[in-house]
Amino acid sequence: MTIKTYLGFDVGTKRTGVAIANSLTAQANGIDTVIHNKDGSTNWKDLQHLISQHSPDGFIVGLPLDKDNQEQEMTFIAKSFARKLEERFNIPVFFIDEYLSSSEAKNQLKWHYAHKNADRADVDKRSAELILQTWLNETTHD
């Protein structure tokens, strides 16, 4: 059995949360939040560093659909990010609906840390963890 490593992403315009998991444990863990460039462009330098550290076999990108399962502006941003990931690193990208992942992450962090406003970087990292865990739970990943 080959153990595969996956990186999950909660794509945002200011930050992108990153999580990691492997096919043996199938347990996602948030590992970092990449802060994007001041001009709004993706911080490929920091992403490259993370990706080279972990040598993933696949990328899982949260697809932000609205409550009616329709695409919205962030859906196109996430798809563009995914397309560029696949082109740059020649690693397959898988999508998973991320509806309410940020809300759920924020709720979990508020409860856990017992404060009114959870840190946005922690929220993004936890969102990536939830996205990746959902994909792991719903997918056969040999």
Write the secondary structure of the chain as one string of H (helix), E (strand) and C (coil): CCCCEEEEEEECCCEEEEEEEECCCCCCEEEEEEECCCCCCCCHHHHHHHHHHHCCCEEEEEECECCCCCECHHHHHHHHHHHHHHHHHCCCEEEEECCCHHHHHHHHHHHHHCCCCCCHHHHHHHHHHHHHHHHHHHCCCC
> How is the chain split into domains, by residue range?
5-138
- What pTM was estimated for this model as a whole? 0.85
Q: Say which CATH topology domain 5-138 has.
A: Nucleotidyltransferase; domain 5 (3.30.420)
pLDDT per residue rounded down to tens, the chain (142 residues): 799 999 999 998 899 999 999 998 899 999 999 999 999 899 999 999 999 999 999 999 999 877 787 888 889 999 999 999 999 999 999 998 875 455 554 555 454 544 555 567 677 888 899 899 989 988 875 5
